[in-house]
Structures are given as structure tokens and as C-alpha cells.
Amino acid sequence: MNTRIADPGSARLAGVDLHALAAREGTPLYAYDAHALDARIDALRDGLHGRRARVCYAVKANSNRALLARIAAAGLGADIVSEGELRRALAAGFRASDIVFSGVGKTRMEIAAALEAGVGRFNAESREELGLLDALAAERGQVACVALRINPDVDALTHAKISTGKAENKFGIALDPARAIFREATRWPALRIDGLHAHIGSQLLSLDPIREAMARVAVFAGELRASGTALRSIDVGGGLGVCYREGQDHPPALSDYLATVFAAFDGFEGELVFEPGRWLVAEAGYLLARVVRVKQGSSRCFLVLDAAMNDLIRPSLYEAWHDIVSLVPQDRPMRVYDVVGPVCETGDTFARDRALAEVEEGDLVVLCGAGAYGMSMASTYNSRPLPAEVLLESGGYQLIRRRQTWEEMTAGECAPLERGTA
């Protein structure tokens, strides 16, 4: 049994009655446990206490403004990858100087917006990007701080779609060209290239690839130092994995992860930057859904939920496992289901052959570990409005995103121009 919901029969999460919550706010509904988020933030802060280190939360994991505001208020910075995330981060109260701008395809407009806002650091991924950034910073009479994203060519041992540190991936710069960039740094007079960045992938469950990648970065940093480039920061990216499958996933403990990073950069005098996304929010989040139908197929029993791949795409996209709990008295017999959504694709499957306490139409189920890359990857596919989000705290809750209305869903669409008026 999943212990995240201590007593599924009574269906309470963070002191909130999920039946009452679902009745009031409807389903599908994302619910976040504020205390669980705070606990992760505190653990990170404790783990970094006394170190020259900062945490820049990877906004893409969950970009709800209320969560961002909470994370900003706790003193963390933000790792952003688009102008949209820049706007969200600033609106949520992150100081521009605490923002790092990552991403392989920053556009001219996005770079200009980031310079205008005064973001603290650009994690640059190519020589071409340096050229553009230099030109735009020079135009504005600014000097931009830059970390070069290194591609350490390490297999992160995670799903191929979220692996980013192999030579064949689009991310970062190999060591040789990176070396040349540092040698020629004066070519970009409006840039201060004094940092390194590496992010090898996400949902990392082994420390070995992290150790390997960080060792390569550390050797490179040592080389730069020996040739007269003192680095001010090394950004180790995000990637720390979480437990999606209780009893089966054994992610590294935070303390072991941090010890691995500190050991790699022992003696480094600059600042270490961490960009966790998933680790902060994944396990604080739940997707609450209602059973629309229990459909006995010829060979399998389908549990059709009112949540679908448009609400939580991770199982469809990465064959990701999410623990599922049926919110029914647990003395009901166990039954094996294929848990699916109503979208018209076979890929709209949350789980196959999943044993749950038996459910009936109208019962509630909860998908666990849905706080990261859940709502932030949601779409309106099949013209299904975006779900609502609530923050559970001290036995009560706050609505932090209302359910999208039909009007909102189609608001940006225009009638085609009449012939001849274009």
C-alpha cells in the first residue's frame, strides 16, 4: 500500500478531506502539500548551510505562481528557460539577480528581455549564442555574466528523453571548443565568461554519472584556473531523482548527493549553483481524478478516469510510473486495472496491470508524485480545459489556479480573415 495517503479510506491529505475537496473544486485537480514543499526547501537550505552555494529552482518543473512565490519567499533563486518563465519568476518575486537563464535556443527577444530585467547569469550553450548575447549586451552598454554549459559526455542512466549530457544530445559544448572559448574570451567584450554549467539529465537515481560528470567539470575548472581563469561559479544543474514507486525507487539521499558534489569541487572557492526542479516539487503534488467508468474489456479491465494524458503526460511520454491509490475503504478486494484516461489514443494510459482496492464509478483515485512536470506540461488536447490547482495547508486549502473555462480555452482563436481583406 502506498503510505503517502496514510488512510485512503478516510482520504485525507495534509489534513484536507479529499472527497470534500473534489466535490467542491471538481476533478481532475492538482493538489500540492505546502508542508511537503517547505520540508524540501528547508532540507536543501540545511544541507547547504555554511557553503558558498545557491539554489535556483528550475521553474519548468512547476511554474504555478503561488508555488513560485513561496519558493522565492524562502530565498531561493530561479532557473528559467524562456521569456515566459522570466516573467513568471519576476512576478512571483524572484530578484532578477537571483535568476539564471538556461536553454539551448534563447532568442534575440528573450535575451533582450533578460538583459533588460538584469538577470544574474546566462548559461550559454554555443559560440553562436555568445555572439548574439555579446552584441545585445554591448548595444545596451551592459556586461553580461556567463557560464558555459559543458557537455561532459556522460550517460545519466535515465530515460533517453530526459538525458542531456551525452555528446549526441543538443545541450552544452564539448570540452575542446569550450577550452577555445575561454582562450578567446576577449572576443566578446560585453561578456564576463567566468562560470561553468553542466546538467546531464533528470530523474537521476544513481550518483555514479553525477560523480563522473562533476569530476570532468572539476578537471576542466582546474585546467582553467591553471591557465589564469578564476571561475566565480559552477552550476551543477538539477536532476536529483525522486521516488515515484514506493518500495522500488531508491533515489539518492539529498545528503549523499550534496556530499558527491562538494567532494568533486573540494577546494573550489567560487559559488556552487544547484538547479533542482523535480526534487523540490514532485512528491508534494497529487493529481486527483474521478472514475468515469469501469469497463471490462475482453482481456483487461479498464479504469477510465476523468484525468487524461493532457493533464499528466509523463506516463505516455516517458513510460513513467506514478503510484496510484484508490480512495476507498482498503478492505475492499484488490483488483488489477489498466488505468486510462478518456483521450482518443491508446497512449492515454497511466498504468497497466495496476492492483488497486476495487473501485466503482464515481470513486476517487489519486496519482502520486505529480507535482513536477505535471501541470507544467498539461495541454488542452481533445479540447479538455486545463485542470485546477490547489495548495493544501494546515487542514485547509487555497485555489491557486482556477479550472480553465470553455471561453478561456478558445479565447485566442480568431475567425479566419475574409478573402481579400488580408
Smaller CB separation from ligand LLP, 290 or 314: 314
Instruction: State how far the Cα of 302 lies from the Cα of 294, in Å rounded to an integer.
Output: 6
Minimum Å gap between C-beta 289 and ligand LLP is 18
Q: Which span (195-203, 258-266, 339-347, 354-362) binds ligand LLP, by CB under 6 A?
A: 195-203
Interface pick for ligand LLP out of 4, 44, 70, 79 (rule CB under 6 A): 79
Smaller CB separation from ligand LLP, 262 or 318: 318
| 3-state DSSP assignment of residue 292 | strand
Question: Do 194 and 182 contact (CB within 8 A), yes or no?
Answer: no
Interface pick for ligand LLP out of 202, 310, 316, 349 (rule CB under 6 A): 202
Q: Taking CB positions, which residue lies at the least distance from ligand LLP?
A: 238
Interface pick for ligand LLP out of 120, 237, 251, 371 (rule CB under 6 A): 237
Q: Indicate if 344 belongs to the active site.
A: yes
Site for ligand LLP in 312-331 (CB under 6 A): 314, 318
Q: Facing residues of 289 across strands? A: 365
Q: What is the CA radius of gyration of the chain?
A: 23
Instruction: State how far the Cα of 252 lies from the Cα of 286, in Å rounded to an integer.
Output: 22
Residues 6 or more apart in contact with residue 362 via CB below 8 angstroms: 290, 291
Residues 6 or more apart in contact with residue 6 via CB below 8 angstroms: 12
Q: Closest Cα partner for 34 from 389, 326, 288?
A: 389
Instruction: State how far the Cα of 27 lies from the Cα of 11, in Å rounded to an integer.
Output: 15
Smaller CB separation from ligand LLP, 82 or 203: 203
Does the protein bind ligand LLP through residue 277 (CB under 6 A)? Answer: yes
CB 18: neighbour CB atoms within 10 A?
A: 23
Does the protein bind ligand LLP through residue 58 (CB under 6 A)? Answer: yes
Does the protein bind ligand LLP through residue 234 (CB under 6 A)? Answer: no
Does the protein bind ligand LLP through residue 68 (CB under 6 A)? Answer: no
Minimum Å gap between C-beta 159 and ligand LLP is 7
Site for ligand LLP in 82-101 (CB under 6 A): none
Minimum Å gap between C-beta 372 and ligand LLP is 6
Q: What does the DSSP assignment read for 201-250? A: BSSB--SHHHHHHHHHHHHHHHHHHHTT---SEEE----B---SSTTT--
Interface pick for ligand LLP out of 120, 152, 165, 238 (rule CB under 6 A): 238
Active-site positions read: 344
Q: Give the interface with ligand LLP as residue ranges (CB under 6 A).
A: 58, 61, 79, 102, 162, 199, 202-203, 237-240, 275-279, 314, 318, 372-373, 377
